[in-house]
Structure 1
Amino acid sequence: MSDKKYLVTGGAGYVGSVVAAHLLAAGHRVTVLDDLSTGHREGVPVGAEFIEGRVQDLPSADGAPWFDSSYDGVLHFAAFSQVGESVADPEKYWRNNVGGTMDLLAAMRRAGVRSLVFSSTAATYGEPESVPITEADPTAPTSPYGASKLAVDHMISGECAAHGLAAASLRYFNVAGAHRAADGVMYGERHDPESHLIPLVLQVAQGSRDAISVFGDDYPTPDGTCVRDYIHVADLAEAHLLALAAATPGEHLICNLGNGNGFSVREVIETVRKVTGHPVPETAAPRRAGDPA
């Protein structure tokens, strides 16, 4: 699977940039499409072609004449991903996550590009009936974000059945960590504002943030705080390359990506205290809308 050409939408973001770096390291050619609304130009790996734009611009041959049958596939990361924001502004998520993917699929049909790996989410499952969550478990998202990703999964299934698309949806749990590429560049989390637990706790430990907010301590978990499964971003990137190889025309592969073990918010905080040797003050806060236990 060497020397192929891939479009990475949202490739200036956290996960997309690491996947783009892995594709380049494997000998592939990469084009990154990103509007930089949440991504960063400096996050695009050296060696990747960068086009500033949106997937909504792809369907028109006049708008994106560069997107043609020379591409072997698409890895689709471009999406909004904040659970709380999706509860407050669901239309934003339907228009961008669902509408944008509809436009992408139309562009792929027009260009004759017939392979897709989609960045889905374990938020499609909502409150799990049991753990670990498997692909056979029922989907019942608790937020418009999770619902928008599930809607895209259904759209992709239809595209595979109707038009022979080869596709994989990777339902991530919580992505964490950083990746040092072969050229020495470090790729990691950089959200503005930061919203992920591990970097937030580390900011408190290093003194750049006063305290970590614990959103809810009355969940039905051992210590009352939310429990999450974490996967390292480099492992996640490798899974995308494997998914490209596994995708079969007319079939939609759905895979969960995690480590199979859950860690509570308080366990993460305590681990950072032990590893860094620094205090991590906590403040109690109400549950966030859309957060499962």
Structure 2
Amino acid sequence: MELTDCQLLVTGGAGLVGSELTRQLVPDNDVVVVDDLSNGLQDSIPDDATLLQGDLTLQATVDEVITADIDAVFHCAAADKYVNSDDPRKQFETNVGMTHSVLERMDEVGVDNIAFTSSSTVYGEAPRPTPEDYAPLEPISNYGAAKLSEESLLSVYAHSHDVTVWNFRFANVLGPRFGAGVVPDFVEKLDDNPDVLTILGNGRQEKSFMAVEECADAIRHVVEHASGAATMHTYNLGTRTTTSVDRIADIVADEMGLDPAYEYTGGDRGWTGDVPKMRLSIEKLAALGWEPTLSSDDAVRRIAGQLVDRLETN
């Protein structure tokens, strides 16, 4: 699909990935963002995009924003984006229900293209690097189970309702804004107490981290180059390298000019459902002609530096 002169809808377009994707799409397309601003920031939305503030868990909002003139939906919205949710049942039911409502409405009005932001958590504790065709998919977190359920609905609409789906399983995505995630967590902790940093788990958890700009660029590349209508295109998005939690702490401390002591909560993972080791195979993505320019360490350092700069200017 050529992303030029299109009418595009970005759900969750005020969030981390959605706002960056919107920024990259608006120069060549007419982009509408729908977001209830519960997780997102209005200031993140480019001026050239149209914001419709609304809750996609409400059918009236879904009906308003998904109309027959939309060429594609970029579905980034999630009612609760935290992997370790305080209310896992609500997280599961809300997000799966929202995606189902989006797909039903698309089918009703004849919109037949959707890109979906899934997660590496659908794989559970899988061998590394993990390819897209790895089976069985056995998520160990409620968040992963919800994403896998949403993928299943997308598969139904791809194979039985003539919808073209681009399904993206992310590594850990980093961007220059505070919120959930280990890098902003460490920056905030060290800003509060520069002498001691509390690290969840044992610090040896090791995962792939990807800059949000590269994540959005990869999404656009796949949508434009993965051929075949009315099918489901699943791609991993990540880097070929990983970074340990201890290494992230070192990088953040270095960017802040600090030398804190580390204390650990213990165990091999940060929370129940945390996958301690994760690296995705990106061979399928590379074969389509896209490679990340930043390593996992580079992405961590770049974002840590941006967050520290923001602290210093506020």
TM-score scaled to structure 1, two decimals?
0.85
2:177 is matched with: 189
**How do 1:81-96 residues align onto structure 2 when only pairs under 5 Å count?**
81-85=81-85, 88-96=86-94
1:185 is matched with: none
Runs of 4+ in 1 over 3 A off after TM superposition: 62-66, 208-212
Q: 1:96: Cα distance to partner?
A: 1.6
> In 2, Cα distance between the equivalents of 1:257 and 1:225?
23
> In 1, Cα distance between the equivalents of 2:219 and 2:246?
31
Determine whether 1:257 maps to 2:237: yes
Q: 1:270: Cα distance to partner?
A: 1.3
**Conservation of the 8 A alpha-carbon contact between 2:6 and 2:29:** yes
1:231 is matched with: 210
C-alpha RMSD of matched pairs (Å): 1.9
Q: 1:202: Cα distance to partner?
A: 2.6
> In 1, Cα distance between the equivalents of 2:193 and 2:184?
11
1:204–1:120 CA distance, 2 compared to 1 (3 A): same
- Structure 1 stretch 274-283 or stretch 105-114: which is displaced more? 274-283
1:35–1:272 CA distance, 2 compared to 1 (3 A): same
1:291 is matched with: 274
1:134 is matched with: 131
Out of 194, 198, 209, the position equivalent to 2:183 is: 198
> In 2, Cα distance between the equivalents of 1:247 and 1:41?
34
Residue by residue, what CA displacement relative to the aligned partner does 1:226-259 show, whole Å, maximum 9, x if unpaired? 1110111111011121232226322101111110
**How do 1:152-231 residues align onto structure 2 when only pairs under 5 Å count?**
152-177=150-175, 188-191=176-179, 195-205=180-190, 207-209=191-193, 211-217=196-202, 225-231=204-210
2:67 is matched with: 68
Aligned length: 267
> In 2, Cα distance between the equivalents of 1:228 and 1:6?
32
**Conservation of the 8 A alpha-carbon contact between 1:124 and 1:141:** yes
2:55 is matched with: 54
1:167–1:63 CA distance, 2 compared to 1 (3 A): closer
> In 2, Cα distance between the equivalents of 1:173 and 1:228?
8
1:231–1:113 CA distance, 2 compared to 1 (3 A): same
1:8 is matched with: 10
Where 2:20 maps in the other structure, the secondary structure is: helix
- Structure 1 stretch 75-84 or stretch 161-170: which is displaced more? 75-84
TM-score scaled to structure 2, two decimals?
0.80
1:63–1:104 CA distance, 2 compared to 1 (3 A): closer
Aligned identity (percent) is: 28
Q: 1:263: Cα distance to partner?
A: 1.0
Out of 223, 248, 254, the position equivalent to 1:274 is: 254
**Conservation of the 8 A alpha-carbon contact between 2:63 and 2:105:** no
Unaligned runs of 5+ in 1: 178-187, 218-223
Q: 1:66: Cα distance to partner?
A: 4.9
**How do 1:25-40 residues align onto structure 2 when only pairs under 5 Å count?**
25=27, 27-40=28-41
Q: 1:64: Cα distance to partner?
A: 3.3
Q: 1:83: Cα distance to partner?
A: 1.9
> In 2, Cα distance between the equivalents of 1:257 and 1:157?
19
Amino acid at match of 1:289: T
Where 1:83 maps in the other structure, the secondary structure is: coil
